[in-house]
Structure 1
Amino acid sequence: MGRRLAVPTLPYTDLKTAIGRVIDGALLIFLIFSALSITVAQAALLLALVAWALRLLLAEGFRQLRLPLLLPMAGFFLASVLATLTAVDPYLSGRELRNIFQPALFYLVVNHVMEEERATTLTRVLIAVGALVSGYGMWQAVTKGVDFRVHGTLSIYMTFAGVLMLIDTLALGQALFTTLSRRTLWLVPALLLLTAALLMTHTRGAWLGLAAGVSLIVWLRKKRWLLTLPLAALAIFLLVPHAVQARIGSVFDPQDVTARERLYMWGSGLMIIRDHPWTGVGMEGLKRVYRDYKHPMAYQERTSHLHNNVLQVAVERGLIGLAVWLWLWAAYVRHAWRIYGSLGPQEGGSRALVVGSLAGVTGFHVTGFFEYTFGDSEVIMLVYFLMALPFLLKTPAWGLPTPQGQSGT
């Protein structure tokens, strides 16, 4: 009989440690590539989720899971399934259910990071990457002209703008709520690069989102500073190229072509909701029905979205889906605000994370009045990361929930 080969095995604790390092590395890769490549970012996220599931199985740690916002999260998924069952094209709608792994990022960060220092490090890695791609965006503006809508390393300028807006609010939260030192002074030029590149995307919705996020951060830091924001906005307006000034001015122009087109789309969306009120037309169903509801003055024959989060969710998932979706965001704000209120002035690092989260989500929703940001994978995955930041902190307002309370709203 042949000799048996000895197969080396890892001790149980070493295996858990190794899996934890895989999760750490995959999360880091996800954040680095979130502003570089959606393919690599999603692959890294899937790897992190698989490794996390394996670690939970090995440790039998499901009872210790922290599951904030579970009820609205699960409710929205069920509403999406219901919309798929009644969709105008169930196959197309069902394909979109594959994106269920994206909100799992929220629970991965809440349960795996769990420390302010680690969360701050990940956040600053994201800010540094954002500053680098912003530099590339500014190079595009210099070489291709100020009329060019920079898109950085991404394929679409609107997506690039949405990503920069989220990172910009994170950076401002870090700069205003933590003590600047030699190690963190780089946040100032990073902020300048991020804001400059965002301006050069010529994306008005993201500008308004940034303005809302910045206003919230400044209000929470020192309310009197709000008085300086109009002066800062005026200074920026005077410094930017004429093409950007014209784009800013078009925000208030009722005759703007793209603004009129959005109004036509929104009217069509309301008519679709009238005819499909409860469960909608299903995900991707708008492509099938839009021509039947198209405004006669609209120039776009087909569209996959209505440039508005609320209308798009209602059209695709009906009023049932919209109600649960709004519940999710209301529950997030309620919990995050309570967590912020439980933090003292000396907890600058924790406050920076919570404020950056609240400001980023606020900017996301303001931008979502004019774009379908909820359907933009690069943007929404970063939003789930931001949403997790308040909940990973061990505070009296959250702490470690009991099994009976961990699925609360």
Structure 2
Amino acid sequence: MMYARRWAQTWLAIGFLWFLMAIALAPSNKIYQQGLVLFLWLPTLALLWSARGVLAELWRSQRGLCLSVSLLLLWSALSLSWATGEEPGREFKRLLYIAFFLLFFPLLANADYERLIKLMQWGGIGLGVASAISIYQFYGVRGFPWHYRLLGVGEVSHPILGAYVITAAIVWMLHFMPKQRWFQALWALSLLSLGAFLLLCQSRGAALALLITLVAMPLWRRDRWSCVIALGTVATAIAGFVFMYAQITGRGTSYRPEIFHSSLQMIAEHPWTGLGLGSFYKVMAVGMPFDHTHNMFTHIAIELGIPGMLLWLAVWLCVLREIWRVRATTIGKGLMGLWLFSTLAMQFDAASLTGTPRAEWFISWLPVGLAMALVWMHARRPGCDKISGSI
């Protein structure tokens, strides 16, 4: 099985780390996308045939998830026939990118979840380095006052979307504490850097999603560590509200209720077909135009109609089902936290599902891909056949 050889797994591991870290550390978005082609799309294409047994087991053990993803991608492709976008070919290519991105994860996992967790730990450390660089450059080199909202480096330069990437890393890092002392020191320093980035971004949506996720953490971990985190989160939230009351309440609701109401009106105009994938639109609220709906589900409904939104909801619930099946494992607990955080984050922003790999993928397609990596865990259950390279 070629995909299981050391060189192939190294190639795939580099691709995963590039996806996690280079979004902030790559010199430009163009280089980030080119790196994904080289380290992620290309190895997936090259190794798929040797992993056909994995794909067959993926379909057998996760049929609901595979079917809902397939139907969503097919409906998205069909919507290009009535979309008003200028480049339907590019939109179709992006759907292929999503498909190969998801197929990448079963190849990467290769029944070694400790390795997958370690890659996510190193990814979090890399994002912690990017956070420290961002803080130094923005407040030190560029000289902005400390009360200004932080703009990070690379593709985490948006104070809201960048905060979601960094906060997703905080969630998986808190679930995946390393065992080695030297690694724990790097882990702790990275968490401090990530937390400082979130605080300085002043992203209330990311902070609220993190708050709810960490307070709920004892529900699926059920250990002393999660209780300590939950209590510490509540204490930090109270202190933050007291000392940063003006910053928290000064921006009001950022027109989110008005945008949501206008989005529902737009959905009602094309409820079944939507505008079509990639169609340009503006949301008019309080007399101002907004680029998107600031909500993943309403954005999908505007582009793909109610059928598209229901298909994405089916995908998301199937992901929860796959995670729930392995909730007693370390990887299952970490993915449970990431799923809940991502669900909450989608309500406040991240209105992009089928664009090129970007910050939004950390709370949309990344959890779906990691759920598909659980095919190996299902295959090792009693009564399941071992995954083979030939069918």
Which TM-score band applies after superposition, normalised by the shorter structure?
0.7 to 0.9
- Corresponding position of 2:48: 56
Judge conservation of contact 1:313–1:321 (CA < 8 Å) in 2.
yes
Q: Give a deviation string over 1:202-259, Cα, whole Å, max 9, x none.
A: 1111111211322233433347544553223223445xxx6x54222347xxxx2x63
More deviation, 215-224/152-161: 215-224
Judge conservation of contact 2:13–2:119 (CA < 8 Å) in 1.
no
Structure 2 residue runs of 5 or longer lacking an equivalent are none
- CA distance in structure 2 between the partners assigned to 1:120 and 1:167 by the alignment: 12
- Corresponding position of 2:296: 309
Larger of the two Rg values belongs to structure:
1
- Corresponding position of 1:360: 338
- CA distance in structure 2 between the partners assigned to 1:179 and 1:14 by the alignment: 28
Q: TM-score, normalised by structure 2?
A: 0.81
| Paired residue secondary structure (1:35) | helix
- Corresponding position of 1:135: 132
Q: How does 1:65-76 map to 2 (within 5 A)?
A: 65=55, 66-67=58-59, 68=62, 69-76=65-72
Q: Which amino acid aligns with 2:332?
A: V
Deviation, structure 1 residue 278: 0.6
Q: How does 1:10-409 map to 2 (within 5 A)?
A: 18-37=7-26, 38-47=29-38, 48-57=40-49, 59=50, 61-65=51-55, 66-67=58-59, 68=62, 69-87=65-83, 89-92=84-87, 95-100=90-95, 101-114=97-110, 115-139=112-136, 140-141=138-139, 143-154=143-154, 155-175=157-177, 179=179, 181-221=181-221, 222=223, 224-225=227-228, 226-237=230-241, 244-250=244-250, 256=252, 259-260=254-255, 262-287=256-281, 290=282, 294-295=284-285, 297-300=286-289, 303-341=290-328, 343=329, 351=330, 353-375=331-353, 377-383=357-363, 384-393=365-374, 397=378, 399=380
| Paired residue secondary structure (1:263) | helix
Identity of aligned residues (%): 21
Pair 46,212 (structure 1): closer, same or farther in 2 beyond 3 Å = farther
Q: TM-score, normalised by structure 1?
A: 0.78
Q: Which amino acid aligns with 1:219?
A: L
- CA distance in structure 2 between the partners assigned to 1:231 and 1:284 by the alignment: 43
Q: Which amino acid aligns with 1:39?
A: K
| Paired residue secondary structure (1:259) | coil
Q: Which amino acid aligns with 1:132?
A: V
Structure 1 residue runs of 5 or longer lacking an equivalent are 1-11, 344-350, 405-409
Aligned residues: 362
Aligned-residue CA RMSD (Å): 3.1
